[in-house]
Structure 1
Amino acid sequence: MLLADQIMNHGTIPQKNRWKIEPRYKIVLACFLATFVMYAERVGFSIAFTSMAKAAKLDESIKGTVMSAFYWGYALSQVPGGWAAQLYGGRIILIISFSLWSLISILTPTNARNTWSIMFARVCIGIAQGFIIPSIHTVLSQWIPPHERAKAVSLTTSGMYLGSAAAMWVLPSLSTVVGADSLLCVDGALGIAWLLLWLLIGREIPHRESVIPLSTNDNARNGSSSSIGKGRPAPTPWKRMMSSPAVWAIVINNFSFHYAFYVIMNWLPTYFNSVLKVELSSLGSMKTLPYIVMFLMSNVGGLAGDWLILQSKMSIGAGRKMVNTIGFISSAVALMLMPMASGTLRGVAATTLTLGALGFSRGGFSVNHMDIAPKYAGVVMGISNTAGTISGVIGVAVTGIILDKLGGASNLFGWFYAHALCASICMIAMMIFNVFARGDRIFDT
């Protein structure tokens, strides 16, 4: 029985439950830690392979190709991940995903000259991790009531940035002690630790048919004979989704957000080393500041969206567009400041502003799929995240090619071109979202 039902029936909260954490809060925390760990793994590999590639004297284009291999696999499994989570439940899909990628990370070759073997491992890890975000959004759409979803999604996805910050803080120093190649085993161990936590929490989670309804009207609308109420998903309206301008507005903005974010995340160690002329391990806690601010601003973006809708009486669509516009314009400006940074402090400040603005924008496009299609949130997120992942494949590899063609990573001209491309993509996406995004439920049946 839900806590709301207990209050209605008895008038008070039972004493024995006063200090008990409700299952949905445990789920949100576990989902937050899932994104924390998966992004710590990505940063860990970036740090490890940057050191491994330097020792093997690999050029920037090869390094970019290897680092982008993850996103090929990640793109392949996004839509299947949303479908599988909707069909079998997010909990079991998360168990399978974390089991696979953790083991593969531990078994990844540590000699950077084994390029094809490392790329194959990264593709496999990408495929396994591609099931995570759609599964999480499926779980959240089933467990979190509508008025809590923006905050829940913002908190859960902000784990990505706190995980990145923690990895940037701890792993460079750890690599100097145990060796850069050992970070691959550390990443795998983190995945196994989360898996054990999820198995423990899962023992207290009831079946899907016991969760809170998607909205306060869902039970009345569907009736007691609804297949959804029995835990079986309704047919997915693929044709309507793929022809909807509102869905494509989300898809394009996800592509643009991740193009900029993945370029920064994967090339940040090289940026610090080649542009700012400083080693990550020597920066202490300063190197974590961009990701910590991104973590904070992601939650601020969610709160700002809720405030604009609830307090300023904006429509849902207008609120999402406002947050999205502020975030993307600010990030485009900040992206162009990064190559102009002269000195460590200015470089860290420009990077922090860029990631903070990108984090804020998630209160716009990233929540919007739950506005327009709450029953199919995992599927829409899978479609959207496929685009975001393809942008990672393109952006990381293209940045390496641009840097190579324009004189290497030490030449600022290449960084200007790469960042100008990121900024332009963000601005175009923002304008598309302002024209085509919607806030009402358009996939209700």
Structure 2
Amino acid sequence: MATATTRRRWSDFITCRQVLNIMVILGFMFNYMLRVNLTIAVVDMMIPTNATEETRVKLMEQNKFNWTTSQKNEVLGSFFWGYILTEIPGGRMAEIVGARKVFGGGMLLASLLTILTPVASTNFYVLVVLRALVGLALGATWPSMPPMAAKWIPPMERSKFMANMMASALGAALTLPVCGFLISLSGWECVFYVTGAVGIVWSILWFTLIYDSPSQHPRITEVEKYEIETKIAQMEGGGTKNAKPEKLPLKEILTCAPVWAIIVTHGCSVFCYFTVVNQLPTYMKDVLQFNIKNNGLLSSLPYFGKYLMAVLASYAADKLRKSGRMSTTVTRKVFTTFACSLPAIMMGIQALWGKTSAISVTVFTCALFFNGAVTAGYLSNVLDIAPNFSGTIFGMANTLSSIAGWVSTKVVAVITETESTFRTWRYIFWILAGAYAFATVFYLVFGTGKLQKFNSVDTTVQGKELQPLKTKYENGKEADIA
């Protein structure tokens, strides 16, 4: 018995798919950590506009910077310059060389650049370039994940896996208060050293533990590999060969209405999300008068809610689809409507009555909580309609959303340049309400859960929605395979 015990491997206690889920959750947490660390640090990096000349001199000696509001937003917005450029190439490269290299490599490069941020900050233009390079590295990471899901996760379980990407909200929630604490403890420089080091450690673990497919994994059991590959082959191909086209069907993708339903809806939703992520700390400081420690803590509350809803909604969506109570199309539209229409209402409430801190914190928390349901809606939809080209399509969607994120910094800068008060911020909240509402309507009209013709050279199952299949197990009992 002792010999048998010593021969047991870690795979006897945790599956490779569970390890993948854990690493993806942590990966997206740290991904956003590397993105939003500057949004809280910049509050302490800048010299207050109302500071006296004597105070300015002292603060500059303490490595504080005399930036204008436009310069601050230029630093925050520069991330998107690079982020936009690698979205589509990153998704396509993940389809060709695998998500392991693309996601892990992007995270490692961004982590190394983050550690260099304090040195780069001594020159404003060097800092802008460095943040653009961080965006360049992280831009490829998000669209690389759907191709990973297409190889590792059976179709009826993919909503839950895509919810792991919403751990980015959890990362933002944890990063904001932690950064506030680090700043109060050791200054803003410490933020970049700590977050960069965490990213490097995660990257090493990623390349050690994760592989692009079950067939490539050296430690996976035959049982787990057979289960994953059989479910994917049977459900996506209906028992037939589901061959991926050798060339990218670019024309078919660009002229596909369901593809644009995902792209446009994602662009509107993330425009709103980026506006909140990048600007909420400033709003709380300028309008609600929170100090930096409370700023980080209270700014984090909406993101905890977003992740919680992502998990709950995705679990519900997969259960509804698997049971047959809802088709894939209906499921995606119901959850997208829920995720975008309710935040639109919340932003309207914020524009009308959000001058008090209690109402603002409640509204932002509820808005992002409801928006977390996108994982069960359009975010998982790319794997329904074209799993073979999910990286390219998601890259297109993230490109638009990245442009929208850059635009959001400009919109806020223009509206609040001369006056950062509740009166000026109301215009921003109405814009967010309109963007959420438009996303809802657009997806309801053009969205679908049907597998698209261009996904495969085998058209025997095209135009059909994925349904749970039945299979015979070795014990002779018939059961759902997913």
TM-score (norm 2): 0.82
* Partner residue, 1:136: 145
* Partner residue, 1:439: 449
Offset at 1:20? 2.5
Map Cα deviations across residues 226-247 of structure 1 (whole Å, 9 max, x no partner): 6x6xxxx732211101111110
* Partner residue, 1:222: 241
CA distance in 2, matches of 1:107, 1:17: 37
Map Cα deviations across residues 388-426 of structure 1 (whole Å, 9 max, x no partner): 11111111221111111xx422x2122111111111111
* Partner residue, 1:324: 336
* Partner residue, 2:439: 429
Change (3 A) 1:90 1:403: same
- Answering whether residue 261 of structure 2 is matched by residue 249 of structure 1, we say yes
- Answering whether residue 385 of structure 2 is matched by residue 355 of structure 1, we say no
- Contact conserved, 1:321 with 1:437, CA < 8 A, in 2? yes
- Contact conserved, 1:304 with 1:323, CA < 8 A, in 2? no
* Partner residue, 1:6: none
**1:65-144 matches, cutoff 5 A:** 65-109=74-118, 114-144=123-153
Map Cα deviations across residues 16-73 of structure 1 (whole Å, 9 max, x no partner): 8884311122112111111100111222111112221344342322212220111121
Report the aligned-residue RMSD.
Answer: 2.5
- Contact conserved, 2:103 with 2:144, CA < 8 A, in 1? yes
Change (3 A) 1:325 1:38: same
Offset at 1:385? 1.1
- Answering whether residue 383 of structure 2 is matched by residue 370 of structure 1, we say yes
CA distance in 2, matches of 1:159, 1:144: 18
CA distance in 1, matches of 2:113, 2:11: 43
- Answering whether residue 283 of structure 2 is matched by residue 271 of structure 1, we say yes
* Partner residue, 2:26: 33
Matched letter for residue 329 of structure 1: S
* Partner residue, 1:162: 170
**1:264-303 matches, cutoff 5 A:** 264-282=276-294, 285-303=297-315
Change (3 A) 1:189 1:370: same
Percent of aligned pairs sharing the same letter: 27
Matched letter for residue 183 of structure 1: V
CA distance in 1, matches of 2:296, 2:397: 36
Matched letter for residue 49 of structure 1: V
Offset at 1:343? 3.3
CA distance in 2, matches of 1:284, 1:247: 37
CA distance in 2, matches of 1:16, 1:216: 30
- Contact conserved, 1:99 with 1:192, CA < 8 A, in 2? yes
Change (3 A) 1:283 1:255: closer
Change (3 A) 1:307 1:205: closer
* Partner residue, 1:412: 422
Map Cα deviations across residues 78-114 of structure 1 (whole Å, 9 max, x no partner): 1100111111111122232122111111112457573
CA distance in 1, matches of 2:16, 2:45: 43
- Contact conserved, 2:120 with 2:126, CA < 8 A, in 1? no
Q: Secondary structure at the match of 2:172?
A: helix
Matched letter for residue 212 of structure 1: E
Map Cα deviations across residues 343-372 of structure 1 (whole Å, 9 max, x no partner): 332221111012112212332111110110
**Range moving further from structure 2, 422-431 or 275-284:** 275-284
Q: Secondary structure at the match of 1:439?
A: coil
Whichever of the two has the greater Rg, that structure is 2
Among candidates 177, 191, 194, match of residue 199 of structure 2:
191
CA distance in 2, matches of 1:150, 1:203: 21
Q: Secondary structure at the match of 1:338?
A: helix
Among candidates 400, 404, 419, match of residue 387 of structure 1:
400
- Contact conserved, 1:272 with 1:280, CA < 8 A, in 2? no
CA distance in 1, matches of 2:216, 2:13: 21
Among candidates 186, 203, 212, match of residue 229 of structure 2:
212
CA distance in 2, matches of 1:65, 1:312: 49
**Range moving further from structure 2, 27-36 or 193-202:** 193-202
- Answering whether residue 316 of structure 2 is matched by residue 304 of structure 1, we say yes
CA distance in 1, matches of 2:297, 2:240: 52
Offset at 1:129? 0.4
Change (3 A) 1:107 1:18: closer
Change (3 A) 1:98 1:111: closer
**Residues matched between the structures, number:** 421
**Range moving further from structure 2, 306-315 or 175-184:** 306-315
CA distance in 1, matches of 2:455, 2:65: 54
Q: Secondary structure at the match of 1:394?
A: helix
